[in-house]
Structure formats: structure tokens, C-alpha cells
Chains A and B, each alone.
Chain A
Amino acid sequence: MVRFIGKRIFYMLITLLVIASFTFFLMKLLPGTPFNNEEKLTAEQKTMLYQKYGLDKPVPVQYLNYLGKLAKGDFGVSFQQDNRSVTTIITERIGPSAVLGIEATIVGTIIGLFMGIIAALRSNTWIDYWTSIVAVLGISIPSFVFAGALQYFVGVKLRWLPVAQWEGPEYHVLPTLSLAVFVVATVARFMRTEMLEVLGQDYITTAKSKGIANSVVVMKHTVRNALIPVVTILGPLAVNLITGTLIIEQIFAVPGLGSQFVSSIQQNDFPVIMGTTIFYSTAFIIVILIVDILYGVIDPRIRVAGGKE
């Protein structure tokens, strides 16, 4: 297991290097410079700014310099937010995004699993049909439509919950629900399909014929086996939610990383774009690693290290 993780971390670093390099060169292709706005800089000021941020050097040199600093964990400072370091910006902004993402993942998974299991156990009844309808709606309707509707009906019409902003727990409910809808739908759909498949397996029939209680059959034999594909999709889904979702953050005025990322791209704020991308990739790769490890926990047959040789 240790060797497996070690090897994976090595690959992770390679992947990150490739991602960082790609992003770096792609970013150089972005039209416009970070410093042009309607107020014209003088040639002199431009030169000084380029010097300050090392943009006066040839792109390959800039690239090596960037990698050198990156190796030391230095992401640089933002072009747009004067003197503010990229690390500070990311650490300030990741909190709300992560909290919101984790809440949505947990809430969505619990409801989704529950719905999927019930639908499978009661397949082809009205419960099953309703679950399917909800799942289809949840996947096909974009989350910002739910967000807009929730904000208007629950926030403005009923006044039950605050419309937006990120203060106490009551402010978390609407954005969490808006984000969770997609999770619920995805998880429920996968869980139902997998459950039905597992329920048709011989070992379930065997278990039942051995007289094991129905609840034990469901919990211990069916659900556990059906979970594997769900865990696979849940990993990336969680990273997406945790690293910030622009639209939901915008609608509910959540000061998260998603909105920061998009505004950085619009303003050609290279260091922030790079920093956020690398942060996002790292999170993604780590979660994939965790998912791989989790497989082994759920199903010993697919322990990735290949068992004892």
C-alpha cells in the first residue's frame, strides 16, 4: 500500500508539472495584456510594470522562472489586486467554497443514496417512477435555475431564509440545496441501477436462501457492492463543488474561489489564474487517489496494489 501511494504521488507530481506547463503557455495566448485598461499607461510605466513582474523576458525564461518559484511554493502576487499574494487570495477564498461544496456533497449523497436504494427496492412502483422523474429533472435543469427559483420563492416571497450573502448557518441552506440537486440526481440514478444489478446476482439469492434477514442482505451485501461506481463519480463531483462553483457563488453572493477565478481570467491576472489552476488540479488528483484507496476499503477484490506477489 505504501509503495502504491508513493508511486501515485510521483505520478501526481508529473501530472501537475504537465498541467502547470500547459496552463502557463495557454495563458500566454490570452488576448490582451494584464495592464491595459481605458486609462492608458505610458510606455515608461508599462516597461516598469513588465520588469517588476518579469514579463519583459522571453516566454521560455518566464516559464523556467515560474517553475523555479513554484518549486519553492511561491505563487507570486496578483497583478490586479495590488501587492496581494496569490496564496493569500486562494486561502481567503477557498474557505466558503469548500464549506459549501462539502455541505452540498454530503446532503446530496445522503438524499441521493436513500432515493436510489428505495427506488431499487421498490422498482417499478410509483416511488421508483417519482425518483426517476426527480433524477431526470435534477440532471437536466441547470443549478442556477433552481438557485434563482429558490432565492425568489423561499427568500423573497416566503421570507423564510436570507436571499444571499454568507453569514450564519441559515445563509448556507439555499446555496447548499441548489448545488445538492445535481448530486442527488446523479447519485440516485447510479445507485438505483447498481442496486438492481446487484440484487439480481446469485450471491444475493444465496444469501436470501440462507435465511439471512432482509435488512442485512440489503445493507451488507447489496448496498456495499453497489457503492463502488457511486464512489467513482462522487470523487470528481466533490472536487468540482469544493473548488468553487461560479454561478451559485455569484447568485448567493458567496465569496468563494469560483468567482475569483473567473474575474482573474477576464482581467488576465496571470499569477492568480496559474495559482488557482494548480490548486484545483492538486485537489483533483488527491481526490482521485483517495477514491482509489477507498475502492480497496469497499471491495477488497480490487485493491490496486495487486495484493501479495
Chain B
Amino acid sequence: MNKSKMGTLLTVGLAGSVVLSACSSGSNGSTTSDGNKKVINLIENQDIPKYDTAKADDQVSFEVSNNTHEGLYTLDSKDTPILAGAASEPEVKDGGKTWVIKLRDDAKWSNGEPVTANDYVFGWRRAMDKDTKSQYNFMFTVANILNADKILDPKDKMYNKLDQLGIKAINDKTLEIKFSKPAKSLPYLKSLLAFPTLFPQNEKFVKEKGEKFGLEPENQLYNGPYKMTKWKHGAGWTLEKNDKYWDKKNVKIDQINTIVNGASATKINLFETGKLDRTAVPAEYIDKYKTQTDKFKTIPESTVFFLRFNQTKNKALANKNIRRAIDMGWDKKQLSEKVLKDGSVPAYFLVPTKLAKGPDGKDFRDDVGNLNVGDNKKAQDFWKKGLKEIGKDKVTIELLNTDSDGAKRDSQFLKDQLEQNLPGLTVNIKQTTFKQKLEIETKMDYDMSYSGWGPDYPDPMTFLDMFVTGNPHNEMGYSNKKYDEMIKKAVAETDVKKRWKIMQDAEKLLITDDVAVGGIYQRSTGWVTNPKLTGVTKHNFGGDYSYKYWDLEK
């Protein structure tokens, strides 16, 4: 998922230069209670680019949509999918390939119209329609919705035949969903139904607004806990409790104002003066807040950073021993603990911890553990072996990274460590803009690249299937028939236990045997929160938060 990099880019140059110590002992929450109304203030690095659940493809749009709109399911505070637009758990038919879902009678749009089965049919078809150009329509394929893969494939004769999609309105309040394989083989299916791309849309309203749909609060229709009442582009927006929402009695906070700003000192100063109830803590302020345990907390995320080894450009990187030496030849722990200091953990893996639990209820990582753990001695042995195999005693490798301050710091750390530990290695750092880096990766015109990936859905597959031969995300010339086979098998497998095992083996093959990529770290972010603001938890996928579970104590 596109982790909002734009905001980070904007702060470059501001961040470093305007660090003034914010140690005032001011009280928080001075602006938060407006009579009896509970009002909180939040901040985002950027404005909402696409306020349309069918088109949204970025963090901010997903977060807002997740609070102003609702699908069949929604995530609870522990990321478990619970009933939302659906009145009861689905009636399973056809050997598990069909679900019949009753919709809530009391679910309404903010204009008072009921949310009907047709709204789901329309919303899904619109997201799948080629003219919508949704970047997230692949979620329907991930969810195994019948024919979704064919409708998206320009070479298939069913291409863009939207009426072939496995969704049908039996009547106003009954929906039928058909899957290409039994639903129970996809343990994360209900979580997908809580993802904004799969939300309903009101056909009449969307068509009436046309190109203006979602551009202003009045051109948007809401069926979630909140509705947008004000949107000053570039400055921020206001969400207020939606009085047409079926579960409004459980919505505690009346109003949420979000400011758009990416300057790190500004965020901290706003928080210090009580104008914000919560903000991410920029790296240079972590030390300051670390000890204020009533306010400060690091929250682990499912985003993993890793080194891509391009096997097609630099001959040295086509050698497995050299790749292994590089993966082992630097201190991952030191980067996380001494350089980043934000709670991030060293990644001896690709699939992050706390992303998904297996059929045995255990975390994916618990069973596979850390991969490719080594020390300098081991790294040097592999290094010597590799050099011998390619017949060289000196190797120069270019490390591609973005141009942010953090990227500079991390690249320098890697360079110093690798050059010190692996004799004969020279690492040249190349920094480009984020956009340019993506383009260079697509063209495979790099040696080694510092990359990151956040999950699109709570399943190891969102990480693993990227490295199949020919996948557009592969971009490094990695190809192993055995790996391709395993992923294919896992996708087709209907036995959840077997599927889980194949995925675990696939990760071992990818990292331990092939060293296709080398983990860097799994990210955490430090946050400061007004101690009176309770119930704040962050989702691991989809929209970051559900404000519905939050409360503000008097």
C-alpha cells in the first residue's frame, strides 16, 4: 500500500532546521471540550486526494472513508472483522461458494435513503469498471469474488463485463455474493469486506453528481459513523457525528477536526499548546517524549523495509553468497535501536510480525522465526566464497534510496557497516526523489534498493506474491520456478492449514535459500496522545483508525 510518502517529502528541510526544544509543561486538552460537545483535533501530512471509496488508493483517503462510510463488516479495535452493514453472519450455500447476506434494516445514507443491496452491487461494479481506473480493484480478485480476475483481464472475453461479477441483489435487503472457491479457505475474507473499495455507493447520487462526486462535502453521501461537514482544501476538514448512522448511540466523540500540515516542529508545537490531541512524533523529538509515558507510545506497524537485490544489472548481486554476505554483514539491531529509536524492530524476514495469525492461532512469525541471522564472521565467509566464485576481489555496489533526511541517514549507516565488515566492498549511495526511485526500480536500472512495503490485506500473501516471476513488483529479476509453483499452489489451496504451511515454506525459500531480498526493519511510529483521549488503536490495514471506538474523558 502506498504509505504516504508525500508528507515525508514535504517536511524535508523543515524538519532538520527548526528543531527547538519543546519542553514546556503546558496542559493538554484546553480546546477539546466545547460545552458538552466532545471535540478532538488531529493532523495529517497531506490533504485527501480521492474522496471516493471506489477510487481511493492512499492512506488519508482510506482513513477518512473508513470513518464516514461503512461496508458489510468493519474492524473492531483489535482488527477482528465484526458485523456492520450486514445484519447477521452470512448464510452459506453451494458448498461455501455462495454467501447470502441480510442487510441491516436501519442502515441509512445521510440523505435518509436506506442502504440497499443494489448500493453494494453498484459500488462493487463501479470500482471494477475500467473507466473508474481504481488501483485497488485487485482486492476483488484477492477476495476470490467470482469472475473478478476475468473482468480485470483485458485479454479475457469477459473483460469489463461488470454484470458477470459475483454479486447480486436478491431484494432490497438481501445480497448474494459468489466466490470462485469456498469462502472458508480465505481466512481474511471478512476483513476484506471491511475495506473501503468494497463499500456500497448510492447509484442515484453518484450518477447525479457525476465528475463532481466527492469533491466537496455536499457532493458526498455518508453511511458511516461520521459525515464531513467542512473541507477547506489544503487546510483541513471537519467530521461530525452522523445522526442517520444506525449505531450512533455508540459514537462518543461529536466532532473531529483534522489539520493538514507536514512540518514537524509545527505538529509538536500545536500539540504542546493543546491544539492537537494526537500526533506522530518526528524522529528528532523522540528522545524528548520517551519518558512521558502518560502521553507517549510507540505503535508497531506492518510496514517492512528491505533491500532489493537486482540480479540483472550488477553481476556480483547475481551471486547468492554475495547477497547472503550483504544481508548478514551489517548490524540490524543497531539500526533499529540506536539510529531509528522509534520502537522499530530489526527485520530478519519479509512477512511482518502481528500481520496475520494462522489456523493454529499463532502468529506467522512465531513458527518461521528469524531467517538468515548471522554475524560478521559468517558474513565474511560467504563474502570470500562469493568473491571467489565471481573471480573478483573488489566489488562496487550502488545503493538506491529516496532523498529524505531519514533515507540519507539510513543509507550512510548501511554503507559504513558494509564497507567495514566486507573487505573489498564499496557502496555508493544514490538518492533520488520518491517518484524517480519508483521509475528506476521499474526499469531495473539499479543494483540494490532500499524499499518498503505495507500490507494491502492481513495475509502473508500480500508480501509473498510480489516475488513471483513476472510480477510487476518483482522488479529485480528474481525468478525461481519452485517459488512460483508454491505461490500458485497456496493461492489455489482450499485447506487453510496446508495453505499456511506452503506460505511459510515459501518465505524460507525466498530469504534463507535464495536471499532474494534482505530485511531491514519493521517500522514503528512514536505517537503522543492527549491522556484524556482513550480507546485509540491503530488498524494494521485499510483505514488507520476507527474514531467510533474513541472517547474523550472530561
Least distance between A140 CB and chain B CB atoms (Å):
15
Residues of B participating in the A interface, judged by any CB pair closer than 8 Å: 1-3, 6, 9-11, 13-14, 17-18, 20, 22, 24, 26, 46-47, 49-50, 52, 55, 57, 130-131, 133, 135-136, 152, 154, 211-212, 214-215, 232-235, 259-263, 265-266, 269-270, 272-273, 275, 432-436, 438-439, 442, 453, 456, 472-473
Closest 3 CB pairs of A and B: A32-B435, A255-B234, A148-B18
A163 contact from B2, B18, B275, B435, Cβ within 8 A? B275
CB pair B435–A45 under 8 Å, yes or no, is: no
A154-166 Cβ-contact flags toward B at 8 Å (1 or 0): 0111010011111
Q: How far is the CA of A42 from the CA of B47 in the complex (A)?
A: 26
Question: Which residues does chain B contribute within 8 Å of A9, judged by CB atoms?
Answer: none
CB pair B266–A31 under 8 Å, yes or no, is: no
CB pair B270–A163 under 8 Å, yes or no, is: yes
Question: Which residues does chain B contribute within 8 Å of A159, judged by CB atoms?
Answer: 26, 273
CB pair A38–B26 under 8 Å, yes or no, is: no
Counting contact residues on chain A (CB < 8 A from B), the size range is 35 or more
B46 contact from A31, A44, A263, Cβ within 8 A? A263
Question: Which residues does chain A contribute within 8 Å of B2, judged by CB atoms?
Answer: 37-39
New contact pairs (12) apart from A159-B273, A166-B235, A250-B266, CB-CB < 8 Å: A31-B433, A32-B439, A39-B2, A41-B133, A81-B50, A144-B14, A148-B17, A152-B265, A163-B266, A250-B262, A251-B266, A266-B6
CB pair B269–A38 under 8 Å, yes or no, is: no
Question: Which residues does chain A contribute within 8 Å of B472, judged by CB atoms?
Answer: 40
CB pair B269–A152 under 8 Å, yes or no, is: yes
Question: Which residues does chain B contribute within 8 Å of A49, judged by CB atoms?
Answer: 133
Question: Which residues does chain A contribute within 8 Å of B233, judged by CB atoms?
Answer: 81, 84, 89, 92-93, 255
Question: Which residues does chain A contribute within 8 Å of B211, judged by CB atoms?
Answer: 83
Q: How far is the CA of A262 from the CA of B434 in the complex (A)?
A: 14
CB pair A165–B14 under 8 Å, yes or no, is: no
Q: How far is the CA of A163 from the CA of B261 in the complex (A)?
A: 12
Q: How far is the CA of A123 from the CA of B434 in the complex (A)?
A: 53
Least distance between A193 CB and chain B CB atoms (Å):
31
B130 contact from A44, A84, A92, Cβ within 8 A? A44
CB pair A38–B263 under 8 Å, yes or no, is: no
Q: How far is the CA of A157 from the CA of B272 in the complex (A)?
A: 10
CB pair A38–B14 under 8 Å, yes or no, is: no
CB pair B3–A251 under 8 Å, yes or no, is: no
Least distance between A49 CB and chain B CB atoms (Å):
6
Closest to A254 in B: B235
A305 within 8 A of B: no
Q: How far is the CA of A110 from the CA of B233 in the complex (A)?
A: 33
A205 within 8 A of B: no
Given contacts A156-B273, A159-B273, contact A266 B435 (CB under 8 A): yes
Closest to A163 in B: B269
Question: Which residues does chain A contribute within 8 Å of B136, judged by CB atoms?
Answer: 39
Question: Which residues does chain A contribute within 8 Å of B13, judged by CB atoms?
Answer: 247
A15 within 8 A of B: no
Closest to A39 in B: B135
A252 within 8 A of B: yes
Closest to A92 in B: B233
Question: Which residues does chain A contribute within 8 Å of B3, judged by CB atoms?
Answer: 38
Question: Which residues does chain B contribute within 8 Å of A156, judged by CB atoms?
Answer: 22, 24, 26, 269, 272-273
Q: How far is the CA of A106 from the CA of B208 in the complex (A)?
A: 47
B266 contact from A32, A93, A151, Cβ within 8 A? A151
A176 within 8 A of B: no
A33 within 8 A of B: yes
Residues of A participating in the B interface, judged by any CB pair closer than 8 Å: 31-33, 36-45, 48-49, 52, 80-84, 89, 92-93, 96, 144-145, 147-149, 151-152, 155-157, 159, 162-166, 247, 250-253, 255-256, 259-260, 262-263, 266-268
Given contacts A31-B433, A255-B233, contact A263 B6 (CB under 8 A): yes
A144 contact from B18, B133, B135, B214, Cβ within 8 A? B18
Closest to B452 in A: A38
CB pair A251–B26 under 8 Å, yes or no, is: no
Question: Which residues does chain A contribute within 8 Å of B260, judged by CB atoms?
Answer: 253, 255
Question: Which residues does chain A contribute within 8 Å of B154, judged by CB atoms?
Answer: 42-44
Q: How far is the CA of A268 from the CA of B269 in the complex (A)?
A: 31
CB pair A255–B232 under 8 Å, yes or no, is: yes
Given contacts A33-B439, A40-B472, A251-B14, contact A162 B130 (CB under 8 A): no
Least distance between B162 CB and chain A CB atoms (Å):
15
CB pair B55–A253 under 8 Å, yes or no, is: no
CB pair A93–B18 under 8 Å, yes or no, is: no
CB pair B273–A155 under 8 Å, yes or no, is: yes
CB pair A148–B20 under 8 Å, yes or no, is: yes
Instruction: Tell me the total A-B contact number using a CB cutoff of 8 A.
Output: 162
Question: Which residues does chain A contribute within 8 Å of B49, judged by CB atoms?
Answer: 80-82
Least distance between B83 CB and chain A CB atoms (Å):
29
B55 contact from A41, A82, A255, Cβ within 8 A? A82
CB pair A145–B18 under 8 Å, yes or no, is: yes
Given contacts A37-B438, A82-B49, contact A263 B10 (CB under 8 A): yes
Given contacts A151-B266, A260-B234, contact A251 B18 (CB under 8 A): yes
Least distance between B350 CB and chain A CB atoms (Å):
16
Q: How far is the CA of A23 from the CA of B287 in the complex (A)?
A: 44
Least distance between B506 CB and chain A CB atoms (Å):
21
Given contacts A31-B439, A36-B439, A144-B14, contact A266 B433 (CB under 8 A): yes
Q: How far is the CA of A260 from the CA of B233 in the complex (A)?
A: 10
Q: How far is the CA of A155 from the CA of B265 in the complex (A)?
A: 12
Least distance between B236 CB and chain A CB atoms (Å):
8
Closest to A148 in B: B18
CB pair B275–A165 under 8 Å, yes or no, is: yes
The winner among A83, A93, A162 for most chain B CB atoms within 10 A is: A83
What would be 18 A-B contacts, judged by CB atoms less than 8 Å apart?
A36-B442, A42-B154, A48-B133, A83-B215, A89-B233, A93-B233, A151-B266, A156-B269, A163-B269, A163-B273, A164-B269, A166-B235, A250-B10, A251-B18, A255-B233, A255-B234, A259-B234, A263-B46
CB pair B133–A92 under 8 Å, yes or no, is: no
CB pair B266–A253 under 8 Å, yes or no, is: yes
B259 contact from A84, A96, A149, A165, Cβ within 8 A? A165
Least distance between B29 CB and chain A CB atoms (Å):
15
Question: Which residues does chain B contribute within 8 Å of A83, judged by CB atoms?
Answer: 211-212, 215
Question: Which residues does chain B contribute within 8 Å of A84, judged by CB atoms?
Answer: 215, 233
Q: How far is the CA of A80 from the CA of B56 in the complex (A)?
A: 11
Q: How far is the CA of A93 from the CA of B265 in the complex (A)?
A: 23
CB pair B133–A45 under 8 Å, yes or no, is: yes
Closest to A166 in B: B235
Q: How far is the CA of A52 from the CA of B132 in the complex (A)?
A: 12
Question: Which residues does chain B contribute within 8 Å of A38, judged by CB atoms?
Answer: 1-3, 438, 453
Least distance between B399 CB and chain A CB atoms (Å):
18
CB pair B20–A149 under 8 Å, yes or no, is: yes
Question: Which residues does chain B contribute within 8 Å of A253, judged by CB atoms?
Answer: 235, 259-261, 263, 266, 270
Least distance between B153 CB and chain A CB atoms (Å):
9
CB pair B438–A36 under 8 Å, yes or no, is: yes
Question: Which residues does chain A contribute within 8 Å of B275, judged by CB atoms?
Answer: 162-165
CB pair B22–A92 under 8 Å, yes or no, is: no
Q: How far is the CA of A253 from the CA of B263 in the complex (A)?
A: 8
B234 contact from A39, A93, A267, Cβ within 8 A? A93
Question: Which residues does chain A contribute within 8 Å of B261, judged by CB atoms?
Answer: 164, 250, 253
B135 contact from A45, A92, A147, Cβ within 8 A? A45
Closest to B272 in A: A156
Least distance between B435 CB and chain A CB atoms (Å):
3
The winner among B52, B133, B436 for most chain A CB atoms within 10 A is: B133
Closest to B210 in A: A83
Question: Which residues does chain B contribute within 8 Å of A252, judged by CB atoms?
Answer: 266
Least distance between A137 CB and chain B CB atoms (Å):
17
Q: How far is the CA of A105 from the CA of B215 in the complex (A)?
A: 34
Question: Which residues does chain B contribute within 8 Å of A263, judged by CB atoms?
Answer: 6, 10, 46
